[in-house]
Amino acid sequence: MADSRGLLVRLTALFGRQVEGVQAAISQVGAKFGGDTWAGLSGKIQDTVEDVLWSSYSYATFGLDAAPHFIRPKAPRKNRLHRAATTMSGVVSGFAGLPGAFVDIPFTTATILRSIAEVARDSGEDLASEETRRACLEVLAFGSPSETGEAAESGYWAARLGVSHLTINLLIRSAAGRFGLILSEKLMAQLVPVAGAVTGGLLNYSFTDYYQSMAKVHFCLRALERRTGDSEAVRLSFETMVRAARDRRRIGRRRRSAPAILLPAR
């Protein structure tokens, strides 16, 4: 969980501030690009994501069960091909503008979902089961790269409990609403002149990498719960490790920011 907060993920905070400025500027242009139009666009993006989540699980799991157990990796892999594919999609959509975005959004959503499903398969999940399908969708409902590290860490269990009772219909709506909002913000960042293609590629790479990391955390914890039969003990151990990781980060920041002490020459 701590390692998922990499450099690219932290950079999305800079894009978040940029998005707010661009959105404010667009809202001042007039009715054509005003707040109502933006709200309608955000809703359309979320509807697109919801449609993809309903229809793409079969694609996401196609062929994954074909690999025999003895050739599967000992630990879930982070598929570089998926990151490369979504990065290229983001670059192309950045050049194409708004029409390209509505090709990029379904492709990126489906590719990230397939990457999550591959982590689930490598973690010993049965991809044909409804429970595993729910677990893959849950990953998209957990936090976002734009949140601070501690917010994402402390919110994991709360988010997991929040979606555990939902029907598959409501779970898909919840995941689409959360992930669709992230993609809406990405689209705003891509409207920045000149940098749209670079921004689209960078954010797609960051999102794919982040959700791959979140999937590894989620399915590792599920595997531990199955193995031990004690989900409460797993939760307590996880929270202890998260606190230790936070403390290490705080100590590292203090050491980097502390002034050097010069000893007097003899």
pLDDT score recorded for residue 31: 42
pLDDT of residue 136: 93
For residue 254, what pLDDT is reported? 66
Instruction: Identify the pLDDT of residue 95.
Output: 81
Give every residue of the chain whose pLDDT is below 50, as ranges: 29-34
* Res 210: pLDDT: 84
Residue type, position 104, single letter? D
C-alpha 41/C-alpha 123 separation (Å) is 37
DSSP string, 103-168: HHHHHHHHHHHHHHHHHHHHTT--TTSHHHHHHHHHHHTS--TTS-HHHHHHHHHHHHHHHHTS-H
Note if the pTM is more than 0.85: no
pLDDT attached to residue 133: 92
Total residue count of the chain as it appears in this document:
266
Cβ(180)–Cβ(50) below 8 Å: yes
pLDDT at 86: 92
Secondary structure (DSSP) of 168-190: HHHHHHHHHHHHHHHHHHHHHHH
Look at residue 98 in the predicted model and tell me its pLDDT. 73
- What's the rounded Cα separation, in Å, for the pair 182 and 184? 5
